[in-house]
Every structure is written in structure tokens, then in C-alpha cells.
Structure 1
């Protein structure tokens, strides 16, 4: 086993972000967390006796103000809701539910930093990393992912700010809504920027942690496959090393999912509700200006992207965990294994891969894996067109809805 290997991890005494020898997981995200106003690493430091309790209290207080502003924004949008199956109803819901999504994101960022979740994950990732058969610095480089996360967040920023400014020029917070006081419509463009910072940072962390587990598990499977092809799995020591490493990987997944579920259990649900209404918005394009119609299309695209980011990385983790059993069952090393220990370890690894429950459950209803992801992406968006048909049916029977 590789338990004798020494891996030095430098930790900041304030309980914030770890600096590891081989993995710079967070990069510039360390600073964007602070820009959200939700960075509570001072609270984590105070809990460990390494920081000022006053700083921790002030950080938590400021975070609560940001969180309340997110809740105020979401409730205000939902409060604009008009008659059922009207444009005002769907526009209010599409923005309102994404507002609730931002509210959940703000709670997550605050909670993750206050409980030192980031350094703990990096520490566990480093502990698993040293168990590799051969080092691979390429999969330890996450700079490309962070750049992509920033680049793909820009359309979300453009959508939030442009819709907020467009409506503010109409002295509204929603195009289909009523005219509101100046203090209210002037506030929403600023809140839109905070929402972008909060949701983009939260999703980047969530996807980054999931993909770090995907990479590690995928590399484990590659090395297991190579060992199988080289007929090395018959060696009791080799397969015992792989078994120990698999166990540590599953521990990493379970421990990381324990805090990632604060996002994944609830936030995707609000995205689902929002995408249904965002699709329904398309049926009212003849009633809105072309620039605003384009903004609503971008809103729909951004929501789809967030749903994919919320579900796909977690599904890929599960795919890699199950792939371990496939590699083992297709190996020829165990059919006529003379060493009973080798066969017992083989059976243990297969059972771990197939029977360990490592999925995150959305609202405790369905576990995130590739199969459920495909079902969700097929069923939920199709509810939008069903609402369109229902609205047309109502109109054709003489009950004209207010647009």
C-alpha cells in the first residue's frame, strides 16, 4: 500500500484556502468568493481559535445582508405574478424562480466558506492523489476549467444586466409588470450584478469539486484497466492497493457530496420551474419588443446551461464509479484465480462499485445519474410546450388571456 508516502499540504492558519504542492484547485475563485460578500472563512478561523471572533461576526453579518437582498429580489419578482397562463405570470415565474436559485446559491457559498469545506475537500483530494500508480500532473491542472467557467458565465451576466436595465428604463422590474417607484427599479440592475457573482461562483465551485472527483475516479479506472491488460491484478498486493484506493475514492465522493447536496438537493428544482416558464415565454414574442425577446431567449439558454452544470458533473461521477465494476467483470484475471484473497478482493471491489449509494438526491426524489439526467432533460422542458398548447386551447374557446 501507499500509506507510507509523505504528502505535505500547507494550510493557512485562518482556515481558509489550502495551498497544495500539486493541485491549485481554486485559483482566482479564491478572490471572487470575497467579491460576492459571502466569504465567511473568518468564521471558520474563529471556530478553530485562529482568528478574531469580531471579524467572523462581521463577515457573517455582511453575508446575511447579501442573502436577504437575494431573497428580497426573488420575492419581488414572484410578487409581480399575474393571471394564470399570461405573459406576466410566466415572466414573473421565470425570473422569480431563478431568483430563488440565486438565494440558495448565496446560502451555499456562505455555508461552505463558514465550515471550511474548500480546504477540507482539497486535503482529501491530495490524500487520494498520492495513491496513484503513476503521477499525472496534467489532470491536476484546473486552470482551463476555471477560464471556461468565467467565459460561460458572461452570457448570464449580459442577460441579467440587460433585462434589468431594459425594464428599469420602463420604470419597471418586469416588462409585463406595473410601474414601480424609482428606488425599486434602480436597485435591480445592481442586484443583477450581485446575482451573477453569487450564482457563477457557487456553480463554479460545485462543478469544480464534482469534476475533480470525476478526474480522479476516471484516472483510477484507466490505471485499473491497464493493470488488467498487463495481467497484474492476479497479484494480491496490486489488487489490494487498488481496493484501498477505491475505498478512499468512495469516501471522498461521500464526504464531498455531503456538503454539495446543500446546492444539488434544492437549486436544480428552481431551475426546472424556471425553464418551464421561460419556454412558455416564447409564445408571447409577438407582444414584446425584439430586443427584449432576444434577452428572453438568452435567459432560456442560460437556465439550460445551469441545469446541465447542476446535474451532468454529478452524473459523470456516478458513471465512473460504476465503470470500475465493468472493468473488473470483463477482466480474465479472476475466473480461475487460485488465490482466495484475490477473488475476495475482486468481489469486494465489484460490490462497492455497484452497491455503494453515492448519488445526490434532488429533493430526496431522484438520484442524480446519467439515466435520470436524460429523463429530466426530456420531460421537464417539454412541460413548457404543453402550457403553450393549453393557453392556445383556452384562447380558441373564447377565453382570451391578458398578455
Structure 2
């Protein structure tokens, strides 16, 4: 076996994105990369109009609907099971390109903010909601409900709902549920008269979601007349694959949905595991003042755990260096914030969280004064 073909142990990857994938998904993709289901061509090579890819596309949509619709009423997690409803029949599941960033433009365009006499309400709790808000201002009137990027220290909580300065007649309310950079998570959604647009980019499928809470009004077909055709949600809703989709991404997404269904057992189980993983790390942080997590406990992220070490930047750098040597990789915090960021997304194995927690205790024992 050639040197570069030798089997190597997988590291514990705590990258905030691109991020860890389930091992069984990677192994399945490895097989299909050369010959998809024995068809003799790679999943990367097949036409998006082929029967094989249409099956991938349709299965992914069916699985996401099944996962979001399944909810055990006796288990209250984040949403109130008494109020929980399945995805309404008049809703559409769209697979769109461009990520959350393109939707920063698509949201005000589809609500036709430029031609409305109503403002759009934006809750700013970190980098991504700030970017969404700034983009919306290019199209029309925006009311900033609250802005923690201007507080001291910045972005360490989500202000209590009673402090939100909501508009009386907002066109919509935009929130970012999980701020990956600052490690802030919104665990409570207000009841408002206007549609709610929620950015779940970094915590999607990490727990049950009551989809009916979001955008309950019909908005397809009401976009700004100048809206680019691919930013108009009606385009994809009425034609499905309007242009060539990111086929491999869709394929991987479908495998992840099946992993969530069959291996994890649904979103309730996923949430329970995510709580368990985050607790392992936060428990070490809270044991003394050697580690400091700036985000208030009530808004700590279950996906991105951010903290600093006593001793400043040099100690942070030493922590990352020693962790990397042990196979605990990509723990360095966001470039503008420094510190440490442990990303514990859905696919992050619990065992990896135990490993990083043990390393944190060992490092503290060795370097605390």
C-alpha cells in the first residue's frame, strides 16, 4: 500500500464550518463517489435530470418533511408541544443555492420591502444578523429591534423580549437563532402579528422546529418586480430545479437526513444528544475562572461554545497548539474575537466532546498558577 493510501485515524474536528459529517455518511459517499449504487458513474457525474438524481432530490425533501413533522407530545423540549403543528400544507420546502448570505437579499426582495410603507424588524445579536440587517437596509425601511453588537461587552446575550422595540405594523421580523461567531443562541421566539423569518443556518435540525411559527402568510408571488429571477422564491417553488443544483451537496444532505432518521432516531433524540455534548464542555468552563465563557448562560449556544483562557492570547495559542498535537483540531476562535471555539454540531460525536473536556481539565491542571 502506498504511503498516501495508508489508513489514518480521523481527528476530532471542531471546525465551525465546513464542519464534521457523520462517519457513516462519509463512508457511503466514498462508495458512491466512484460508482453510484453500481450504476457505473459517480454521483458527481450524473445529470440532475436523471431518474437517479431526481430520486435523491425527492427523497431528501420527503425526509426533511418527515423529520420536521415528527414530534412526541409528551416531551417538551424548546417548543411548546401543545402549540406544535405539522408543516402546513400550503408551505413549500425549497432547496436554494447561495446559503444564508443570499437570503439576506432574497428576504427583503420577496417581501417587497422597497415598495412597502411598513418597516422590517431586525433583531441583531451577532455577526450574521448584523449582516442580514445591513443588507435589508439597502432595500427599504428597517427597524432595529435590538442590537447587542453595540453593547459592552458585545454579543453576549439576547435581550429579554420585554426590551425589544418591535414595530406596531412590521412587514416581517427577522431573527438569527444561532450566531456561530459569538456563540449566542435564541431559545425563545416571541408571538408577533407579523411573519417571522428565522435564520437556522447553523442549528437546523438540531432540535424540533415548529415550522408553522414562521412566515404564516402567503408571500410567494409578491416579490419586488425588480427581484432577480433566482432570488424570487416563486421561481423554485413552481419549477423545482430551475437550474442545475449543487448535486453533490444535495446528495450529502439527503444522507445526513437519513442518518438523523435511522441512526439518531429523530430530532428529539438529536436535541437530547446536543444538550449532553454541550454540557460536557460547559461544565469544565464553569468549574473555576481558568476558562471564561462571555455569553450569558441563558443564551449559550449548543452548537458553538466560545471561551477564553486566563492568561490571555498567549495561553489561548498554547491551548490550541497542544490540543492540535493530540488530534483535537480547529479549536481556534473566530479571527476577530480570538479565544477558543468548540463547535459541537449534530455530527460531532459525544466521545469527541469528552476528549476535549478531558484535555481542558488536563491543560488547566498543568498551566494554572
- Interval containing the TM-score (normalised by the shorter chain): under 0.3
What is the TM-score of this pair, normalised by structure 1?
0.24
What is the TM-score of this pair, normalised by structure 2?
0.26
Larger Rg, first or second structure (1 or 2): 1
The answer to which structure has the higher helix fraction is 1
